Amino acid sequence: MTTLFDPLQAGELHLTNRVAVAPCTRNRSPGAVPTAMNAEYYRQRAGNGLIITEGTAISQQGQGYAHVPGLYSAEQLAGWRQVTDAVHARGGCIVTQLWHVGRVSHVSLQADGADPVAPSAIPAHSRTYIVDPQTGAGQFATTSAPRALQREELPAIIASFAQAARDAVHVAGFDGVELHGANGYLIDQFLKDGSNQRSDDYGGSPHNRIRFAVEVVRAVVDAVGGARAGIRLSPVTPANGIHESHPQPLFELLLQALAPLNLAYIHVIEGATGGPRTIEDQPFDYAAFKAAYRNAGGRGAWMVNNGYTRAMALEAVASGHADIVAFGKDAIANPDLAERFRRGAALNAWDKATFYGGSAKGYTDYPALGD
Protein backbone atom coordinates (compact mmCIF):
# COMPACT_ATOMS: atom_id res chain seq x y z
CA MET A 1 0.00 0.00 0.00
CA THR A 2 1.31 3.44 -0.95
CA THR A 3 1.66 5.81 2.00
CA LEU A 4 2.00 9.55 2.53
CA PHE A 5 5.66 8.97 3.42
CA ASP A 6 6.73 7.08 0.31
CA PRO A 7 8.86 8.86 -2.30
CA LEU A 8 7.34 9.89 -5.62
CA GLN A 9 8.69 10.81 -9.02
CA ALA A 10 6.41 13.44 -10.55
CA GLY A 11 7.83 14.18 -13.97
CA GLU A 12 11.33 15.51 -13.29
CA LEU A 13 10.44 16.31 -9.67
CA HIS A 14 11.79 13.85 -7.10
CA LEU A 15 9.76 14.00 -3.87
CA THR A 16 11.10 12.24 -0.78
CA ASN A 17 7.54 12.09 0.60
CA ARG A 18 4.05 13.16 -0.50
CA VAL A 19 3.54 16.11 1.83
CA ALA A 20 3.63 19.41 -0.07
CA VAL A 21 3.94 22.96 1.24
CA ALA A 22 1.10 24.81 -0.48
CA PRO A 23 1.70 28.28 -1.94
CA CYS A 24 0.91 30.86 0.75
CA THR A 25 1.27 34.60 0.29
CA ARG A 26 3.32 36.07 3.15
CA ASN A 27 4.13 39.64 2.00
CA ARG A 28 7.72 39.60 3.24
CA SER A 29 9.69 40.50 0.11
CA PRO A 30 10.05 44.31 0.11
CA GLY A 31 10.20 45.75 -3.38
CA ALA A 32 9.20 42.33 -4.76
CA VAL A 33 12.73 40.99 -4.13
CA PRO A 34 13.27 37.77 -2.12
CA THR A 35 15.55 38.18 0.90
CA ALA A 36 17.75 36.07 3.15
CA MET A 37 14.79 35.77 5.53
CA ASN A 38 12.74 34.22 2.73
CA ALA A 39 15.57 31.79 2.05
CA GLU A 40 15.56 30.74 5.71
CA TYR A 41 11.78 30.26 5.69
CA TYR A 42 11.90 27.89 2.74
CA ARG A 43 15.07 26.16 3.93
CA GLN A 44 13.30 25.23 7.17
CA ARG A 45 10.59 23.44 5.15
CA ALA A 46 12.90 21.45 2.87
CA GLY A 47 12.12 18.16 4.64
CA ASN A 48 8.65 18.15 3.10
CA GLY A 49 8.36 16.34 -0.21
CA LEU A 50 7.63 19.42 -2.30
CA ILE A 51 7.70 23.14 -1.63
CA ILE A 52 5.52 25.37 -3.81
CA THR A 53 6.50 28.97 -3.25
CA GLU A 54 4.09 31.78 -2.62
CA GLY A 55 2.56 33.22 -5.78
CA THR A 56 5.31 35.05 -7.68
CA ALA A 57 4.45 37.76 -10.19
CA ILE A 58 5.59 37.24 -13.78
CA SER A 59 5.54 41.00 -14.48
CA GLN A 60 4.70 44.24 -12.74
CA GLN A 61 1.30 44.11 -14.44
CA GLY A 62 0.81 40.74 -12.76
CA GLN A 63 1.62 42.13 -9.30
CA GLY A 64 -1.41 42.30 -7.05
CA TYR A 65 -0.11 42.68 -3.51
CA ALA A 66 2.65 44.71 -1.88
CA HIS A 67 5.84 42.93 -0.77
CA VAL A 68 5.06 39.85 -2.87
CA PRO A 69 8.10 38.57 -4.82
CA GLY A 70 8.50 38.71 -8.58
CA LEU A 71 10.37 36.91 -11.33
CA TYR A 72 10.87 39.77 -13.78
CA SER A 73 14.14 41.44 -12.75
CA ALA A 74 17.73 40.31 -12.29
CA GLU A 75 17.59 41.31 -8.63
CA GLN A 76 14.51 39.18 -8.04
CA LEU A 77 16.05 36.17 -9.77
CA ALA A 78 19.23 36.54 -7.69
CA GLY A 79 17.10 36.66 -4.55
CA TRP A 80 15.32 33.49 -5.57
CA ARG A 81 18.67 31.78 -6.23
CA GLN A 82 19.45 32.26 -2.53
CA VAL A 83 16.20 30.44 -1.76
CA THR A 84 16.69 27.50 -4.12
CA ASP A 85 20.32 27.02 -3.07
CA ALA A 86 19.24 26.90 0.58
CA VAL A 87 16.50 24.34 -0.11
CA HIS A 88 18.69 22.17 -2.32
CA ALA A 89 21.45 22.17 0.31
CA ARG A 90 18.98 20.31 2.53
CA GLY A 91 17.94 17.91 -0.23
CA GLY A 92 14.60 19.58 -0.86
CA CYS A 93 12.53 20.00 -4.03
CA ILE A 94 11.09 23.44 -4.78
CA VAL A 95 8.95 24.91 -7.55
CA THR A 96 7.73 28.47 -7.89
CA GLN A 97 4.15 29.48 -8.56
CA LEU A 98 3.82 31.71 -11.63
CA TRP A 99 1.25 34.39 -10.94
CA HIS A 100 -0.61 37.03 -12.87
CA VAL A 101 -3.37 38.40 -10.64
CA GLY A 102 -5.37 40.09 -13.40
CA ARG A 103 -8.11 42.21 -11.84
CA VAL A 104 -7.10 41.43 -8.23
CA SER A 105 -4.77 44.40 -7.95
CA HIS A 106 -4.63 48.09 -7.12
CA VAL A 107 -3.56 51.09 -9.17
CA SER A 108 -0.80 51.83 -6.64
CA LEU A 109 0.87 48.53 -7.57
CA GLN A 110 0.69 49.06 -11.33
CA ALA A 111 3.21 50.92 -13.49
CA ASP A 112 2.28 54.62 -13.72
CA GLY A 113 -0.90 53.98 -11.73
CA ALA A 114 -2.52 52.05 -14.59
CA ASP A 115 -5.74 50.12 -14.15
CA PRO A 116 -5.40 46.38 -13.48
CA VAL A 117 -6.29 44.15 -16.44
CA ALA A 118 -8.86 41.38 -16.81
CA PRO A 119 -10.69 39.39 -19.49
CA SER A 120 -13.64 41.77 -19.04
CA ALA A 121 -14.05 45.06 -17.19
CA ILE A 122 -15.76 43.45 -14.19
CA PRO A 123 -14.46 44.39 -10.71
CA ALA A 124 -13.36 41.63 -8.35
CA HIS A 125 -14.98 43.26 -5.30
CA SER A 126 -12.21 41.81 -3.14
CA ARG A 127 -9.29 43.15 -1.14
CA THR A 128 -5.58 43.40 -1.70
CA TYR A 129 -2.57 44.45 0.37
CA ILE A 130 -0.90 47.79 -0.36
CA VAL A 131 1.54 50.18 1.29
CA ASP A 132 0.17 53.37 2.80
CA PRO A 133 2.06 56.18 0.99
CA GLN A 134 1.99 58.37 4.11
CA THR A 135 3.18 55.90 6.75
CA GLY A 136 4.82 53.15 4.67
CA ALA A 137 2.80 50.58 6.61
CA GLY A 138 1.03 47.69 4.93
CA GLN A 139 -2.75 47.75 4.87
CA PHE A 140 -5.64 46.03 3.12
CA ALA A 141 -7.56 47.95 0.45
CA THR A 142 -10.37 47.31 -2.03
CA THR A 143 -9.14 46.17 -5.44
CA SER A 144 -9.29 48.73 -8.25
CA ALA A 145 -11.68 48.45 -11.19
CA PRO A 146 -9.99 46.70 -14.15
CA ARG A 147 -9.97 47.36 -17.85
CA ALA A 148 -10.63 44.64 -20.41
CA LEU A 149 -7.58 43.25 -22.18
CA GLN A 150 -7.42 43.73 -25.94
CA ARG A 151 -6.90 40.54 -27.93
CA GLU A 152 -3.58 41.80 -29.29
CA GLU A 153 -2.24 42.12 -25.72
CA LEU A 154 -2.64 38.44 -24.91
CA PRO A 155 0.41 37.03 -26.78
CA ALA A 156 2.75 39.24 -24.74
CA ILE A 157 1.21 38.08 -21.46
CA ILE A 158 1.49 34.45 -22.56
CA ALA A 159 5.12 35.07 -23.51
CA SER A 160 5.79 36.61 -20.09
CA PHE A 161 4.57 33.40 -18.43
CA ALA A 162 7.00 31.41 -20.59
CA GLN A 163 9.90 33.79 -19.90
CA ALA A 164 9.24 33.68 -16.16
CA ALA A 165 9.23 29.87 -16.28
CA ARG A 166 12.47 29.80 -18.25
CA ASP A 167 14.19 32.21 -15.86
CA ALA A 168 12.81 30.40 -12.80
CA VAL A 169 14.37 27.09 -13.86
CA HIS A 170 17.50 28.17 -15.71
CA VAL A 171 18.49 31.29 -13.75
CA ALA A 172 16.90 31.06 -10.31
CA GLY A 173 17.47 27.31 -10.00
CA PHE A 174 13.94 26.07 -9.32
CA ASP A 175 13.17 22.41 -9.96
CA GLY A 176 10.01 23.43 -11.81
CA VAL A 177 7.06 25.80 -11.91
CA GLU A 178 3.39 25.77 -11.00
CA LEU A 179 0.94 27.91 -12.95
CA HIS A 180 -1.54 29.71 -10.72
CA GLY A 181 -4.82 28.89 -12.42
CA ALA A 182 -6.92 29.13 -9.25
CA ASN A 183 -8.54 31.48 -6.73
CA GLY A 184 -9.90 34.09 -9.12
CA TYR A 185 -6.62 35.29 -10.65
CA LEU A 186 -6.03 35.92 -14.36
CA ILE A 187 -6.09 32.35 -15.73
CA ASP A 188 -9.13 31.56 -13.59
CA GLN A 189 -10.77 34.80 -14.71
CA PHE A 190 -10.56 33.68 -18.33
CA LEU A 191 -11.94 30.26 -17.47
CA LYS A 192 -15.08 31.28 -15.61
CA ASP A 193 -18.19 32.88 -17.04
CA GLY A 194 -18.71 35.19 -14.07
CA SER A 195 -15.56 37.12 -14.98
CA ASN A 196 -15.22 36.41 -18.71
CA GLN A 197 -17.88 38.02 -20.87
CA ARG A 198 -15.75 38.47 -23.98
CA SER A 199 -17.23 38.15 -27.45
CA ASP A 200 -14.02 37.09 -29.22
CA ASP A 201 -12.46 33.62 -29.42
CA TYR A 202 -11.31 33.85 -25.76
CA GLY A 203 -14.85 34.16 -24.41
CA GLY A 204 -18.31 32.69 -24.74
CA SER A 205 -18.22 28.91 -25.14
CA PRO A 206 -16.26 26.66 -22.75
CA HIS A 207 -13.89 25.81 -25.63
CA ASN A 208 -13.12 29.49 -26.02
CA ARG A 209 -12.82 30.20 -22.30
CA ILE A 210 -10.19 27.49 -21.78
CA ARG A 211 -8.13 28.84 -24.70
CA PHE A 212 -6.03 31.29 -22.68
CA ALA A 213 -5.19 28.70 -20.00
CA VAL A 214 -4.21 26.09 -22.58
CA GLU A 215 -2.05 28.56 -24.51
CA VAL A 216 -0.27 29.64 -21.33
CA VAL A 217 0.43 26.05 -20.30
CA ARG A 218 1.68 25.15 -23.78
CA ALA A 219 4.03 28.13 -23.77
CA VAL A 220 5.43 27.16 -20.37
CA VAL A 221 5.83 23.53 -21.47
CA ASP A 222 7.71 24.71 -24.54
CA ALA A 223 9.96 26.78 -22.25
CA VAL A 224 10.84 24.23 -19.55
CA GLY A 225 9.15 20.93 -20.45
CA GLY A 226 5.93 19.42 -19.15
CA ALA A 227 7.87 17.28 -16.68
CA ARG A 228 8.85 20.45 -14.80
CA ALA A 229 5.42 22.09 -14.85
CA GLY A 230 2.17 21.82 -12.91
CA ILE A 231 -1.02 23.83 -12.63
CA ARG A 232 -3.22 24.71 -9.68
CA LEU A 233 -6.99 24.81 -10.23
CA SER A 234 -9.98 25.64 -8.03
CA PRO A 235 -13.14 24.60 -9.89
CA VAL A 236 -15.71 25.92 -7.40
CA THR A 237 -14.01 28.35 -5.02
CA PRO A 238 -15.67 31.77 -4.76
CA ALA A 239 -12.36 33.46 -3.90
CA ASN A 240 -11.95 37.00 -5.21
CA GLY A 241 -15.51 37.15 -6.45
CA ILE A 242 -15.08 34.38 -9.02
CA HIS A 243 -17.98 32.20 -10.24
CA GLU A 244 -18.68 29.57 -12.90
CA SER A 245 -22.17 28.39 -13.82
CA HIS A 246 -21.16 24.89 -14.99
CA PRO A 247 -17.80 23.99 -13.43
CA GLN A 248 -17.78 20.22 -13.97
CA PRO A 249 -17.90 20.15 -17.78
CA LEU A 250 -15.68 23.22 -18.07
CA PHE A 251 -12.87 21.85 -15.94
CA GLU A 252 -13.08 18.36 -17.40
CA LEU A 253 -12.74 19.94 -20.85
CA LEU A 254 -9.69 21.88 -19.64
CA LEU A 255 -7.95 18.79 -18.31
CA GLN A 256 -8.72 16.83 -21.48
CA ALA A 257 -6.94 19.61 -23.40
CA LEU A 258 -3.98 19.61 -21.00
CA ALA A 259 -3.55 15.81 -20.81
CA PRO A 260 -1.32 15.53 -23.93
CA LEU A 261 1.16 18.02 -22.44
CA ASN A 262 2.33 15.48 -19.83
CA LEU A 263 2.52 17.84 -16.86
CA ALA A 264 4.36 16.81 -13.71
CA TYR A 265 1.21 17.30 -11.66
CA ILE A 266 -2.29 18.73 -11.37
CA HIS A 267 -2.99 20.57 -8.09
CA VAL A 268 -6.68 20.77 -7.14
CA ILE A 269 -8.27 22.90 -4.43
CA GLU A 270 -11.30 20.96 -3.27
CA GLY A 271 -14.19 23.26 -2.31
CA ALA A 272 -13.80 26.88 -1.24
CA THR A 273 -10.20 27.96 -0.73
CA GLY A 274 -9.60 28.11 3.01
CA GLY A 275 -13.28 27.29 3.62
CA PRO A 276 -15.83 24.49 3.24
CA ARG A 277 -14.74 21.44 1.29
CA THR A 278 -18.18 21.14 -0.26
CA ILE A 279 -20.43 23.96 -1.50
CA GLU A 280 -24.13 23.12 -1.66
CA ASP A 281 -24.97 25.15 -4.75
CA GLN A 282 -21.71 24.19 -6.51
CA PRO A 283 -21.53 20.39 -6.48
CA PHE A 284 -18.38 18.96 -7.99
CA ASP A 285 -17.31 15.34 -8.49
CA TYR A 286 -13.55 15.27 -7.94
CA ALA A 287 -13.27 11.56 -8.71
CA ALA A 288 -14.89 12.13 -12.10
CA PHE A 289 -12.61 15.13 -12.63
CA LYS A 290 -9.52 13.02 -12.07
CA ALA A 291 -10.95 10.20 -14.22
CA ALA A 292 -11.51 12.63 -17.10
CA TYR A 293 -7.82 13.53 -16.95
CA ARG A 294 -6.61 9.95 -16.74
CA ASN A 295 -8.97 8.79 -19.50
CA ALA A 296 -7.57 11.51 -21.75
CA GLY A 297 -4.03 10.18 -21.16
CA GLY A 298 -2.96 12.54 -18.38
CA ARG A 299 -0.17 10.83 -16.44
CA GLY A 300 0.96 13.48 -13.98
CA ALA A 301 0.69 13.21 -10.21
CA TRP A 302 -2.62 14.27 -8.63
CA MET A 303 -2.27 16.75 -5.76
CA VAL A 304 -5.14 17.80 -3.48
CA ASN A 305 -5.52 20.65 -1.03
CA ASN A 306 -7.91 22.38 1.36
CA GLY A 307 -8.63 21.47 4.94
CA TYR A 308 -6.80 18.15 5.00
CA THR A 309 -5.83 16.67 8.34
CA ARG A 310 -3.17 14.01 8.89
CA ALA A 311 -5.82 11.27 8.94
CA MET A 312 -7.47 12.56 5.78
CA ALA A 313 -4.12 12.81 4.01
CA LEU A 314 -3.13 9.28 4.96
CA GLU A 315 -6.46 7.99 3.63
CA ALA A 316 -6.29 10.06 0.44
CA VAL A 317 -2.94 8.58 -0.57
CA ALA A 318 -3.68 5.04 0.63
CA SER A 319 -6.98 4.95 -1.28
CA GLY A 320 -5.52 6.36 -4.48
CA HIS A 321 -7.61 9.53 -4.29
CA ALA A 322 -4.39 11.56 -4.44
CA ASP A 323 -0.66 11.13 -4.95
CA ILE A 324 0.30 14.27 -3.00
CA VAL A 325 -1.48 16.31 -0.31
CA ALA A 326 -0.66 20.01 0.08
CA PHE A 327 -0.97 21.94 3.35
CA GLY A 328 -1.11 25.69 3.90
CA LYS A 329 -1.58 26.94 7.46
CA ASP A 330 -0.20 23.76 9.03
CA ALA A 331 2.93 24.08 6.88
CA ILE A 332 3.30 27.72 7.90
CA ALA A 333 3.24 26.81 11.60
CA ASN A 334 5.16 23.53 11.32
CA PRO A 335 8.30 23.69 9.18
CA ASP A 336 8.84 19.95 9.72
CA LEU A 337 5.23 19.00 8.94
CA ALA A 338 6.02 15.73 7.14
CA GLU A 339 8.15 14.52 10.04
CA ARG A 340 5.48 15.46 12.57
CA PHE A 341 2.93 13.52 10.53
CA ARG A 342 5.30 10.58 10.29
CA ARG A 343 5.71 10.47 14.09
CA GLY A 344 2.10 11.36 14.88
CA ALA A 345 3.45 14.35 16.83
CA ALA A 346 1.43 17.35 17.96
CA LEU A 347 1.33 20.38 15.68
CA ASN A 348 2.20 23.98 16.48
CA ALA A 349 -0.77 26.34 16.37
CA TRP A 350 -0.59 29.06 13.73
CA ASP A 351 -0.69 32.79 14.47
CA LYS A 352 -3.14 34.34 12.02
CA ALA A 353 -2.08 37.87 12.99
CA THR A 354 1.35 37.30 11.42
CA PHE A 355 0.25 35.65 8.16
CA TYR A 356 0.60 38.79 6.01
CA GLY A 357 3.59 41.10 6.28
CA GLY A 358 5.85 41.72 9.24
CA SER A 359 9.14 40.29 10.44
CA ALA A 360 10.56 36.91 11.43
CA LYS A 361 7.82 36.60 14.06
CA GLY A 362 5.27 34.11 12.78
CA TYR A 363 7.53 33.39 9.82
CA THR A 364 10.85 31.76 10.69
CA ASP A 365 10.39 31.36 14.44
CA TYR A 366 8.01 28.36 14.52
CA PRO A 367 9.91 25.53 16.26
CA ALA A 368 10.70 22.16 14.71
CA LEU A 369 10.51 19.01 16.82
CA GLY A 370 14.20 19.12 17.72
CA ASP A 371 14.18 22.78 18.78
The residues assigned a catalytic role are 185
Q: How far is CA 86 from the centre of its chain?
A: 21
Helix, strand, or coil (residue 8): strand
H helix intervals, the chain: 36-44, 74-89, 154-170, 186-191, 206-209, 211-224, 247-258, 286-295, 310-319, 329-333, 337-343
Helix, strand, or coil (residue 219): helix
The size of the chain, in residues, is 371
Degrees, nearest 5: CA angle 240-147-235: 30
CB 195 within 8 A of CB 208: no
CB neighbour burial string for 286-317, b if at least 16 within 10 angstroms, e if fewer? beebbebbeeeebebbbbbbbbbebeebbebb
CB 330 within 8 A of CB 361: no
250, 254, 257, 261 alpha-carbon torsion, rounded to 10°: -170
The CA distance from 120 to 213, in Å, is 16
Q: What is the largest CA-CA distance in the chain?
A: 59
